[in-house]
Structure formats: C-alpha cells, structure tokens
Amino acid sequence: MIKRMAIMLVAVAIVFGGIFGFQAFKAAMIRKYITAASSPPQTISATRAGYSKWQPKIEAIGTLRAVKGADLSLEVPGIVNSISFSSGDDVAAGKTLLKLVSADDVAKLASLQAIAQLRNIVYQRDLKQFKMQAVSQATLDTDAANLKDAMAQVSQQQAVIDKKILRAPFAGHLGIRAVDVGQYLAPGTVIVTLQSLDPIFVDFFVPQQSIDRVQLGQNVIVKIDAFKNRTFAGKITAINPNVDLGSRNVKVRATLSNPDHKLLPGMYATVDVATGAPRNYVTLPQTAITYNPYGDTVYIVVNDKKDDPDDKPQLMVRQTFVTTGSTRGDQVAVLKGVANGDMVVTAGQIKLHNGAKVLINNAVTPTADAAPIPIDR
C-alpha cells in the first residue's frame, strides 16, 4: 500500500513538473517575443565612408564688370541729324555714331576760316614789306596777333561742331539705341551703352583672415548660374591695398577671357580660388551628420554580438562624435571620428538611439554630389 502511494506521488510530481516546466519555458518565450516586439529593427539608409580628393579653396561671391564700359552721351544740346550705328553692333574706336544738326555752326566755321585766311595773307604781305623796311615792327606784330586770334576762333568753332558728333571712345559692343533721328537731346542724355567685353573683370571680396592665401596670378574658377554646365577660368590681376572698414573684407579682381561675349557686366558669379595642393579626406553626405550644440555626431552600423550562438546576428548602430571640415555641395569632410570603410547612417537618424537595431534599405538615398545642380520642376 505504501509502495503504491509512493509511485502515485512520483507520477503526480512528474506530471506537475512537466506542466510547470512547460509553462516556464512558454513564459520565457513570451517575454523574449515581447522584448523583441517592443524594439523592432528600424529601417535606415547607409553608405560606406571613403576617401576622396579635396582641393582647398576660398569661395566668394562676385560681380562681372567690363574692362571698359560707358553710357555714351553728348555734353551739348541739339536735334539728332543722323545715326550711324545699329543696336548690338561691334564698333572700332573712333567710329562716328551720331551727329546733331550743326548747319549754323558749320557756316560760322566757314566765316571764321575766311577771316583767318585773310589775316594770314595780310601777315605774309607785311612780312615781306618789313624785310624791305616798308612797315614797322609794331605793324607786323599786330598782324601776327590778329592771325593767331583768327586761328584760335577757328579751332574753337571746330570744337563746337565736334561736340555735336558722337564717336566711340574705345572698341566694344554697343547696346540698345535709346534715341531717334529728329529727337531733341538735352546735355547728358544717354544715347547708347558701349561695353568692352573681352577680356572681362570679376570683382569679389575675401575675408581679411584669408588674404594671405590670395596672391597675384592665382588661378580662379568662375561659375555663372546662367551657364549651369560651364565654368570660366581666370587669374587674379589686382588686390585692393586696404580692408573695407564695414565688412573687414578685401576686394580682389580677376580677369577672364570672354571671346564669345557670353559673360556680361553686372552678372552674379561664384568664384573659387584654389589655395594649395589637393588633400584626401573621409567624405560623407551632409545628411549623415547630426548637428547638436554639444557636438556633431553620426551613427555607425556594426554587427550585434549575440550571447546565444543560435540567434542570428543583427545590425545595430553606435553613436559617435565627429569633427567635420569644409563642405562642398552635398558633401562634408570628416576630420575625426569616422574611419575609411565605416558604414554610416545617412537617413533615418531621428528614430535611432545608441545600440538600436537597424535594417538597411538603400532604395532611396540622399544625394551626395560635390557640385549639385538645382532641378527646375
């Protein structure tokens, strides 16, 4: 009897032990599932950091300026008699462009020339008589003075006529004509713009702390937003000898070749001044950097080390501080904190924390162009 009861107790113990053991195993699995479900892997995009060559440079904003440029006008009033140019012409220096009505002035010039010619005849006759002692020295001196006065009046009247003629002061490209034949012009009325376009200047400002990196003859690359796929090369030809008191910048001028006249005075330009030899930097897209007041950080993707060898390894992120350098387009140079070959998160950082599990999906990735071009949509 006692033996039978012992066997029954053992059997009951085995049954309950199995039940409780199964329940414990089940509870452990449920806890593991809940833990995993509470922090699922976050989907991110990532890229592998690598070296790229960076050219140290100074970036500046500039304005194109003609080597020679002027709004042409006359200093005397009058009515337009003739126009000898068309809008957009290329003209040589000295070419006659416009004449005002000057019939009265020409007639007066002819009268003064006649008087000067007569006084010259009188002077020549008296000079011969003076040699024969037929006239006095005083008479000859008066004749010479009268001749000079007459010639001066001729020159003065010729200057009046010349002021009514507009000539190109230098060779260049004309703009749009702003007057018509028969129009009355007041002194200083702009008739046409004349610009010498080849070569052309670009003026820009450099901070005073960078002026020691700029020197005459240095190469520059100029970009104009009107010509998105083209750059223009030039050289620095002048540096202002003083610093602007308001901005603490120094004005610098470079000269560009412009044989096709594509570059026009007044255009906005971006100027890159190459300074020193190229350097290699670890480069990342700017979206990979999280900028904070206490320091800039990135998330580096690493393999999660599992305690259980049966579990599959997963990817996780490690947050680290970085030191960044200069930027170019969508790229940033990383001086410290990221090594060549590190896998770095480029999108999705807002939902991450140190040690978070991740899944990489690069179906859509941020741009990382060194010279991005805006797309018109």
pLDDT digits (tens, 9 = 90+) for 73-123: 998 899 999 998 888 888 899 899 999 988 888 898 899 889 889 888 888
pLDDT digits (tens, 9 = 90+) for 43-58: 888 889 888 888 777 8
Taking residue 293's Cβ as centre, other Cβ atoms within 10 Å add up to: 4
Q: What token pair was written down for 3?
A: 């033996």
Ranges of CATH 1.10.287 domains, the chain: 102-163
Residue 217: pLDDT band (50, 70, 90) is confident
Q: Which CATH superfamily is domain 58-67+196-274 in?
A: Efflux pump adaptor protein, beta barrel domain (2.40.30.170)
On the question of pLDDT at 183 being above 60, the answer is: yes
Mean predicted lDDT score pLDDT of the chain: 82
Going through 227-314 in order, the beta strands assigned E by DSSP cover 231-239, 249-256, 268-274, 279-285, 296-303
On the question of pLDDT at 345 being above 80, the answer is: yes
| Bridge partners (DSSP) listed for residue 255 | 201, 235
Distant-in-sequence, close-in-space partners of 137: CB < 8 Å, separation ≥ 6? 130
The C-alpha atoms of residue 297 and residue 8 are separated, in whole angstroms, by: 67
Instruction: Mention the CATH class of domain 41-52+280-360.
Output: mainly beta
3-state helix, strand, coil in the chain (%, to 5): 30, 35, 35
Residue 312: pLDDT band (50, 70, 90) is low
Mean pLDDT value across residues 263-269: 89
The C-alpha atoms of residue 330 and residue 364 are separated, in whole angstroms, by: 16
On the question of pLDDT at 151 being above 90, the answer is: yes
Ranges of CATH 2.40.30.170 domains, the chain: 58-67+196-274
For the chain, what is the total number of helices (H) and then of strands (E)? 3, 20
Ranges of CATH 2.40.420.20 domains, the chain: 41-52+280-360
73 touches 192 (CB < 8 A): no
Determine the pLDDT at residue 36: 47
**DSSP states along 7-56:** HHHHHHHHHHHHHHHHHHHHHHHHHHHHHHHHSPPEEEEEEE-EEEEE--
* CATH assignment of 102-163, among 1.10.405, 1.10.760, 3.30.360, 1.10.287: 1.10.287
pLDDT top residue among 8 and 157: 157
234 touches 102 (CB < 8 A): no
Q: What token pair was written down for 91?
A: 């003209």
Mean pLDDT value across residues 194-223: 88
Q: What token pair was written down for 146?
A: 């009268």
Determine the pLDDT at residue 34: 47
